[in-house]
Chain A
Amino acid sequence: GAVVSQHPSWVICKSGTSVKIECRSLDFQATTMFWYRQFPKQSLMLMATSNEGSKATYEQGVEKDKFLINHASLTLSTLTVTSAHPEDSSFYICSALRDSNIQPQHFGDGTRLSIL
């Protein structure tokens, strides 16, 4: 089955630092990747859609300068949380789509980010 890997699984860092999270599709080429955020006891909230070689499309209310997304290849997308603050602490999850039709998205196992 399709495998999506996220790294790191956990990260703890000081307020004001920037954190980069990687999302890789291991056994298929992903034309589109998605980034979600999930707070405790809540559902997943879509942050942005990332297409290889083009700028990401952000959902309403998501700051593009705060959450930098790069999708430089068909197997890798990165999310950088810039100047992170405690309110950015959350569970960040990526997903990858093989091609743009009815195929299901496949999700990584998430990155738990804690900002002190």
Chain B
Amino acid sequence: DAKTTQPPSMDCAEGRAANLPCNHSTISGNEYVYWYRQIHSQGPQYIIHGLKNNETNEMASLIITEDRKSSTLILPHATLRDTAVYYCIVRSGGATNKLIFGTGTLLAVQP
């Protein structure tokens, strides 16, 4: 599976949109982009995933560039409870189905 690169940390003001970038320049055609987050001392929480089209659900939006080499997770109105480590992971739908976690981005939402 392709590797991803994320900034180690970001700050965001409460109520503003949080835009978390992820580079996955070696992504292949059958690989999906998944986003998870981990709040301190809890298991990771699934947020959203996509292949090439932009996706939106009740938690967030996922914007994938046309060449699929990067993506952005958008939390439209960040709250203090969104403070967490956000992981961008690329995975194919193949037999292994493994998720390999990188170091992620620590998003700190400030009051």
Residues of B contacting A93 in the complex (Cβ-Cβ under 8 angstroms): 43-44
Contact mask for chain B residues 3-43; partner A; CB cutoff 8 A; 1 contact, 0 none: 00000000000000000000000000000101010100111
Q: Does B80 contact A (CB under 8 A)?
A: no
Complex Cα distance A104/B96, Å?
13
> Nearest chain B CB to A36's CB is how many angstroms away?
8
Contact mask for chain B residues 67-111; partner A; CB cutoff 8 A; 1 contact, 0 none: 000000000000000000001000001011111111110000000
Q: Which of A43-51, A64-72, A73-81 faces chain B?
A: A43-51
Q: Is B43 in contact with A110, judged by CB distance below 8 angstroms?
A: yes
How many residues on the B side are at the interface (Cβ–Cβ under 8 A)? 24
Interface size class of A (residues with CB under 8 A): 20 to 34
Q: Is B43 in contact with A6, judged by CB distance below 8 angstroms?
A: yes
Complex partner residue of A43 from B32, B51, B97, B104, CB under 8 angstroms: B104
> Nearest chain B CB to A71's CB is how many angstroms away?
14
A-B interface pairs (CB < 8 A), number: 56
Q: Is A100 in contact with B102, judged by CB distance below 8 angstroms?
A: no
Q: Is A43 in contact with B43, judged by CB distance below 8 angstroms?
A: no
By CB atoms of chain A within 10 A, which of B36, B98, B104 has the most?
B98
Q: Does A25 contact B (CB under 8 A)?
A: no
Q: Is B102 in contact with A104, judged by CB distance below 8 angstroms?
A: no
With A102-B32, A104-B34 known as contacts, the answer to whether A49 contacts B46 (CB < 8 A) is no
Residues of B contacting A6 in the complex (Cβ-Cβ under 8 angstroms): 43
Q: Is A107 in contact with B44, judged by CB distance below 8 angstroms?
A: yes
Residues of B contacting A36 in the complex (Cβ-Cβ under 8 angstroms): 101
